[in-house]
Structure 1
């Protein structure tokens, strides 16, 4: 590959080849980026929901077996 690009001008190596690669593989790159961002979003939502569930369960279970002051905190 180095021998192939050695005699070409700099703009072919650094501008034309990357632009052609983006045109050919652009939809694949966009799909991968979209998948990764969607997966990260789902992981964050999952963590928030599990944390909220744990918080609610701890408050409800501790409030049911203790005095009136803990029920006031809820």
Structure 2
């Protein structure tokens, strides 16, 4: 791989090649990043809903057991 870039100016290696890669694979990169962000958001919503459900269930079961003690 180094033989290919030997003798080329620095801007070809560090500017032109990455820009070409972004143009060619930009849609793929954007879709992967969007998928990962969407997945993380869904995981966060799931954790929040499950935690809320557990909190509500424990709150009602502890209050109903304390009422039966009376």
Deviation at 1:65, TM superposition (A): 2.1
How does the TM-score come out when normalised to structure 1? 0.86
Q: Secondary structure at the match of 1:66?
A: helix
Name the CA distance, whole Å, in 2 between partners of 1:25 and 1:46. 32
2:62 maps to which residue? Answer: 62
Segment drifting more, 58-67 vs 30-39? 58-67
Aligned CA RMSD, in angstroms, stands at: 0.8
Deviation at 1:63, TM superposition (A): 1.3
How does the TM-score come out when normalised to structure 2? 0.91
Deviation at 1:64, TM superposition (A): 1.4
Moved over 6 A (4+): none
Ranges in structure 1 where 5+ consecutive residues have no aligned partner: 68-74
2:9 maps to which residue? Answer: 9
1:1-74 map, 5 Å: 1-67=1-67
Ranges in structure 2 where 5+ consecutive residues have no aligned partner: none
